[in-house]
Amino acid sequence: MINFIWAEDDEQHIGYKGKLPWHLPNDMKFFKKMTINKVVVMGRNTFESFPGLLPNRVNVVVSSKSDLVETDNLKIVHSIPELNSLLETFSDDIFVIGGATLFEEMYSNVDRLYQTKIHAIFDGDVTMVPINYDDWQLVEKIDGQTDEKNKYQHEFRIYNRK
């Protein structure tokens, strides 16, 4: 099953200057819980925004450059057809984690959406691809807890394609 997982603010911002525009530990915990021991697929810019490989996951990076070196936990592909061929070899859930171009290119293949909706507005220079929610059924909504570390109201939404 191919899944999207992302966080967005009330204006669908998902990034700013190569980083997340907010600090929300609850979202990081949710992301880790959903993706641990799974396959995560990302574009090169998303990969470079992390300090290293995401541990306990197979990291798949889509990049037009050929300077990355594959390891057991890092697979490199150079096109969407090559990505689709690789994904067919995995039996576990696959999570597309960004960026916007990859979300757009993989949209027709996705089965489930994991969205963290942050009820605030941040500076952003990248927005999530448009999603026609008429094509999706909300199957779970969990209110996030605000506290001194999680200052923004947020909720976790899971959708299945109709």
- Assess contact for 7 and 14: CB atoms under 8 A: yes
**What CA–CA distance (Å, rounded) separates 78 from 2?**
19
Q: What pLDDT, on a 0 to 100 scale, did the predictor assign at position 2?
A: 97
pTM (predicted TM-score):
0.96
Yes or no: domain 2-161 corresponds to CATH 3.40.50.2300: no
Q: Do the strands 126-127 and 13-15 form a parallel or antiparallel pair, or are they unpaired?
A: antiparallel
At 66 the pLDDT is: 82
Residues of the chain with pLDDT under 70: none
Q: Helix, strand, coil proportions of the chain in percent (round to 5)?
A: 25, 35, 40
Distance of CA 43 to the CA centre of its chain: 10
User: pLDDT at position 36, please?
Assistant: 97
Please state the domain extents for the chain. 2-161
Per the listing, tokens 């909504």 go with: 141
What's the rounded Cα separation, in Å, for the pair 74 and 134? Answer: 36
